[in-house]
A and B are shown apart, each in its own frame.
Chain A
Amino acid sequence: QAVVTQEPSLTVSPGGTVTLTCASSTGAVTSGHYPNWFQQKPGQAPRALIYSTTNKQSWTPARFSGSLLGGKAALTLSGVQPEDEADYYCLLYYGDARVFGGGTRLTVL
Chain B
Amino acid sequence: QVQLQESGPGLVKPSQTLSLTCTVSGDSISSGDYHWSWIRQHPGKGLEWIGYIYYSGSTYYNPSLKSRVTISADRSKNQFSLNLSSVTVADTAVYYCAREWLILDYWGQGALVTVSS
Chain B residues whose C-beta falls within 8 Å of the C-beta of A12 in the assembled complex? none
Q: Is the CB of A36 within 8 A of B63?
A: no
Contact with B along A90-102 (1 / 0, CB 8 A): 0100001111111
Chain B CB within 10 A, most for which of A1, A48, A98: A98
Chain A residues whose C-beta falls within 8 Å of the C-beta of B107 in the assembled complex? 45-47
Stretch in B23-31, B42-50, B83-91 with 4+ CB within 8 Å of A: B42-50
In the assembled complex, the Cα of A36 lies from the Cα of B63 at a distance in Å of 20
Q: Is the CB of A45 within 8 A of B102?
A: no
Q: B49 touches which one: A52, A100, A102 (CB < 8 A)? A: A100
Min CB–CB distance B38 → chain A (angstroms): 11
Counting contact residues on chain B (CB < 8 A from A), the size range is 10 to 19
Closest-by-CB residue of B relative to A98 is B49
Question: Is A57 part of the contact surface with B, judged by Cβ < 8 Å?
Answer: yes
Q: Is the CB of B62 within 8 A of A48?
A: no
Interface of chain A: mostly helix, strand, loop or mixed: strand
Chain A residues whose C-beta falls within 8 Å of the C-beta of B103 in the assembled complex? 36, 48, 50-52, 57
A59-108 contacts to B, CB under 8 A, are: 89, 91, 96-103
Min CB–CB distance B94 → chain A (angstroms): 9
Chain A residues whose C-beta falls within 8 Å of the C-beta of B104 in the assembled complex? 36, 38, 46, 48, 91
In the assembled complex, the Cα of A9 lies from the Cα of B98 at a distance in Å of 26
Closest-by-CB residue of A relative to B49 is A98
Chain B residues whose C-beta falls within 8 Å of the C-beta of A98 in the assembled complex? 49
Min CB–CB distance A25 → chain B (angstroms): 14
Min CB–CB distance B19 → chain A (angstroms): 20
Q: Is the CB of A100 within 8 A of B102?
A: no
Residues of A participating in the B interface, judged by any CB pair closer than 8 Å: 1, 34, 36, 38, 40, 45-48, 50-52, 57, 89, 91, 96-103
Q: Could you jot down 6 A-B contacts, CB within 8 Å?
A: A1-B63, A36-B102, A45-B109, A51-B105, A100-B49, A103-B47
Residues of B participating in the A interface, judged by any CB pair closer than 8 Å: 39, 46-49, 60, 62-64, 96, 102-105, 107-110
Q: A36-B102, A38-B104, A40-B47 are in contact. List 5 more A-B contacts (CB 8 A).
A: A48-B105, A52-B103, A57-B103, A100-B39, A101-B46
